[in-house]
Copies of this chain bind each other. A is one copy, B any other.
């Protein structure tokens, strides 16, 4: 008979402590009380737990902590990403510390210094243009780095980002089929890879669906831009709007509420990212869902492989999907009124 080989998780469960406490206890870390260290070591003996010697040698120089640098705590897309990363890291015995970098390259450089100073085992970062050098240097100094959400041209850092193509095409096709043309697109900034990739995907989708040029508002990733752009697109006569990120989606919602535009009747709206504000409306809003939990999990696993010394692929694209809700799922009336 084969009994399953006991893992650190089994030892932790038997001792009634977390995986990271068990790891520290077995390493003899003095932060753990003597009593706990004794108990964990006894359970490890009871269970005949034998950590792979090589893995343990490797681990002894580790802190079992990863650092996560996100642009904002208040943007729920990044908050959920960090939460998903943490959940996955915890299950592998890693603690997670988070640093918020305020969409500011200087602050990201600063955060990276702090995290490196703290001797984390690896870093997951949402990058900005202008941080290519510091991120590459970190990686070259031997600290594993994985980029999340945004790509950074000019580097060969491992990157995980969602693919906007299929879901944006599905969104445009859905709106066109129900007569919600013209469709206006609220574009993010061109100095982020997500901003430029999504706009390109929108334009490609229109072309592939045989539509003439549709109106685009070129903005930035904030509510004010979403609000302003929505006003301009509505004044320009669109019947539907696709917003290019969470914050612009919320701005679009605010603009509709402020103007008394009934979403799901006067205007079809599709947001980006499944933010609670969009879901929890009297008329729930359709969204392009980046499946942020999957993005976070994938990113952690690539970092984990790098920490373990493997060479993961250079770039991974995770899927995004269109979630259709009442805000867009109706037929535009009075097509005949347009000349």
Q: Confirm or deny: A177 has a beta carbon within 8 angstroms of a beta carbon on chain B.
A: no
* Oligomer copy total: 2
Task: Report A215-253 residues with CB < 8 Å from chain B CB.
Answer: 250, 253
B117 with A63: CB separation less than 8 A = yes
Q: Confirm or deny: A26 has a beta carbon within 8 angstroms of a beta carbon on chain B.
A: no
Q: Confirm or deny: A92 has a beta carbon within 8 angstroms of a beta carbon on chain B.
A: no
Q: How far is the CA of A252 from the CA of B30 in the complex (A)?
A: 47
* CB-CB under 8 A for A99 and B96, given A31-B116, A110-B20: yes
Q: How far is the CA of A116 from the CA of B284 in the complex (A)?
A: 44
Q: How far is the CA of A72 from the CA of B83 in the complex (A)?
A: 8
Produce 1/0 per residue, A263-306, CB < 8 A to B: 00000000000001100111110000000000000000000000
A282 with B280: CB separation less than 8 A = no
Q: Confirm or deny: A257 has a beta carbon within 8 angstroms of a beta carbon on chain B.
A: yes
* CB-CB under 8 A for A73 and B83, given A18-B106, A276-B277, A280-B253: yes
With beta carbons under 8 angstroms apart, the residue of B76, B95, B284 that contacts A111 is B95
Q: Confirm or deny: A118 has a beta carbon within 8 angstroms of a beta carbon on chain B.
A: yes
A31 with B98: CB separation less than 8 A = no
A31 with B113: CB separation less than 8 A = yes
Shortest distance in angstroms between A103's beta carbon and chain B's nearest beta carbon? 12
Shortest distance in angstroms between A159's beta carbon and chain B's nearest beta carbon? 22
B74 with A74: CB separation less than 8 A = no
Chain B residues in 8 Å Cβ range of A316: none
A118 with B100: CB separation less than 8 A = no
Chain B residues in 8 Å Cβ range of A276: 250, 277
Q: Confirm or deny: A32 has a beta carbon within 8 angstroms of a beta carbon on chain B.
A: yes
When C-beta atoms are compared, the residue in chain B nearest to A260 turns out to be B282
Chain B residues in 8 Å Cβ range of A281: 257, 281-282
B95 with A97: CB separation less than 8 A = no
Produce 1/0 per residue, A102-144, CB < 8 A to B: 0000110111011111100000000000000000000000000
Q: Confirm or deny: A65 has a beta carbon within 8 angstroms of a beta carbon on chain B.
A: yes
Shortest distance in angstroms between A243's beta carbon and chain B's nearest beta carbon? 14
Shortest distance in angstroms between A140's beta carbon and chain B's nearest beta carbon? 14
With beta carbons under 8 angstroms apart, the residue of B17, B73, B95, B283 that contacts A79 is B73
Chain B residues in 8 Å Cβ range of A150: none
With beta carbons under 8 angstroms apart, the residue of B18, B115, B117 that contacts A110 is B18
Chain B residues in 8 Å Cβ range of A31: 113, 116-117
* CB-CB under 8 A for A82 and B95, given A276-B250, A277-B276: no
Q: Confirm or deny: A86 has a beta carbon within 8 angstroms of a beta carbon on chain B.
A: yes
Q: Confirm or deny: A320 has a beta carbon within 8 angstroms of a beta carbon on chain B.
A: no
Q: Confirm or deny: A10 has a beta carbon within 8 angstroms of a beta carbon on chain B.
A: no
With beta carbons under 8 angstroms apart, the residue of B73, B98, B254 that contacts A99 is B98
Chain B residues in 8 Å Cβ range of A180: none
A100 with B99: CB separation less than 8 A = no
Chain B residues in 8 Å Cβ range of A63: 117
Mind listing 16 A-B residue pairs with CB under 8 Å? Answer: A17-B106, A18-B107, A20-B114, A21-B109, A21-B110, A65-B114, A73-B73, A74-B79, A74-B80, A95-B110, A97-B97, A98-B99, A250-B276, A250-B280, A276-B277, A282-B283
